[in-house]
Amino acid sequence: MEPTTAPPPPTSAVPPTPRSTATPHPGGAVIHTVVAGDTLLGIALQYGIDDLDLLRRLNAGSLGPNDMLSIGQELVISGEPITLPTPTLAPTEEQPVTELTAAPEVPEATAEPGAMGEGASLCLLAYNDQNVDMLYQSASEELLPNVTLSVVGTGGLAGTYTTDGLREPYCFENLQPGNYVVQQQSPAGYATSGPEKWGVLLGAGQSYVLQLGYTRGENSAVGTVEPTPEGATSEPPGEEDEPATSLLMTIIRVSGILAVLLVIVVGTLLIISRRRA
């Protein structure tokens, strides 16, 4: 009896979905398909694009307000700007898949809706971006306090937090999947090293960390303004000297006129006294 070889053990782990998909377009452009957690800046850094406005121009009409993205959206990375069609075919193609998986295994899959129903979380930290590269380096760049961060979703304000520079990143939890905008209020003397508003797309049960950089610049501008009033104080004395000079000249002129009149009066009196004599 021939020994039977045992079949290879099944792989239980599901291979992770790729971070990004870039496919060549028939027109020669490279297309990036948006996945959960993508941001426009992150995509630009991933493809080595320094100019965000270039991505905005290439994808004019397909980006939402504040650079909003949606899962499955196709972005042009390089090439001529094109108008991308709305991805309406993807849901129709995925529907048969969900119907097939839901046939015999519906009772066993009831444990997963709880996981899919879990809210997403968005974690934020603010740091002193000393080299202005918009990349947080914990070894050399410290966390920054007194930054007010607000997270706004489609349903309105999701929460506000002010950093203390010690306990970050701070996480906004139990967020509904969808698009969110992070609004920033810089502390005194600092300005954002990146966009003032960030658009983030969150998937169900996803946790995403957004690192926000700030640079000094406000104080130095204020400092250069302060000496100008002090320097300007030297000008009013000069302006005050002009009225004093004009007054002196007026006095001299009046004195000269009076002297002339006095000479005329004295001469007239001398003539009259001689005639009488």
Give the pair of three-digit tokens for residue 249: 């000249």
Task: Check residue 6 and give its pLDDT.
Answer: 60
How many domains in the chain?
Answer: 2
> How much is the pTM?
0.45
Residue 202 lies in a domain: yes
Residue 234 lies in a domain: no
93 and 174, same domain (yes or no): no
Residue 141 lies in a domain: yes
> How many CB atoms are closer than 10 A to CB 211?
18
125 and 212, same domain (yes or no): yes
Model pLDDT for residues 19-39, shown as the tens digit of each residue: 555 555 555 678 888 888 888
The domain spanning residue 150 has which CATH number?
2.60.40.10
Residue 262 lies in a domain: no
Q: Which of 175, 191, 221 is the last residue of a domain?
A: 221
Residues with Cβ < 8 Å from 79, sequence gap 6 or more? 25, 27, 28, 29, 30, 58
| Average pLDDT value for the chain | 74
Q: Which of 36, 66, 98 is the last residue of a domain?
A: 98
Residue 39 lies in a domain: yes
Cα R_g (the chain), whole angstroms: 39
123 and 197, same domain (yes or no): yes
Model pLDDT for residues 141-198, shown as the tens digit of each residue: 999 999 999 999 988 999 999 999 999 999 999 999 989 999 999 999 999 998 889 9
Q: Which domain holds residue 160?
A: 119-221
∠ CA 193-195-199, rounded to 5°: 140
CB 40 within 8 A of CB 63: yes
The domain spanning residue 25 has which CATH number?
3.10.350.10
